[in-house]
Amino acid sequence: MKTLITLIAVALSLNVMAINDDNKKDDTNSSNNVTTATVKGVVVDKTTGEALVGVAVIMNNQTVAYSDFDGNFTVNVNPNSNADLKLNFISYETTTVNVNGKNSLKVELKSVNN
C-alpha cells in the first residue's frame, strides 16, 4: 500500500513539475507589476528524516506546488504579504508554516501513525 501511495505521489509530482517549468518566466507578474519572492523548501518525515515525495503545498486555498523526489519545492510569494503555506500529505498531519521574510525552510511532517 505504501508503494502504491508513493507511485501515485511521484506521478502527481512529475505532472506538476512539468507545469511549473512552463510557468517559470521571471519574478515579475506583468499584468499588475507585483514583484514576487521565491521561497524554496524541503519536506521530510519528522521521525526518519526521509524526504517526502508529492506533498501538496497550498497557499490561499490553492495547491501551488508539490514536493519532488528529494522533498524539495519552490513557490513564489508576494514579499509584502504575510503568507502561510499549508503542507498536506496522506497519513501525515497537515502543517502550516509562515514564510514571511524567509527564502528557504525545512518542514518536518509528523506521521499520524507515530
How much is the pTM? 0.70
Predicted confidence (pLDDT) at residue 23 exceeds the cutoff of 60? no
CATH architecture of 2-109: Sandwich (2.60)
Distance CA 75, CA 9 (A): 18
pLDDT tens profile 38-94: 999 999 999 999 999 999 999 999 999 999 999 999 999 988 888 999 999 999 999
- Whose cell is 503568507? That residue is 83
Q: Report DSSP state, residue 71.
A: S
**Is 67:51 a contact under the CB 8 Å cutoff?**
yes
Q: What is the pLDDT of residue 39?
A: 94
Q: What is the pLDDT of residue 30?
A: 45
Chain-wide mean pLDDT for the chain? 82
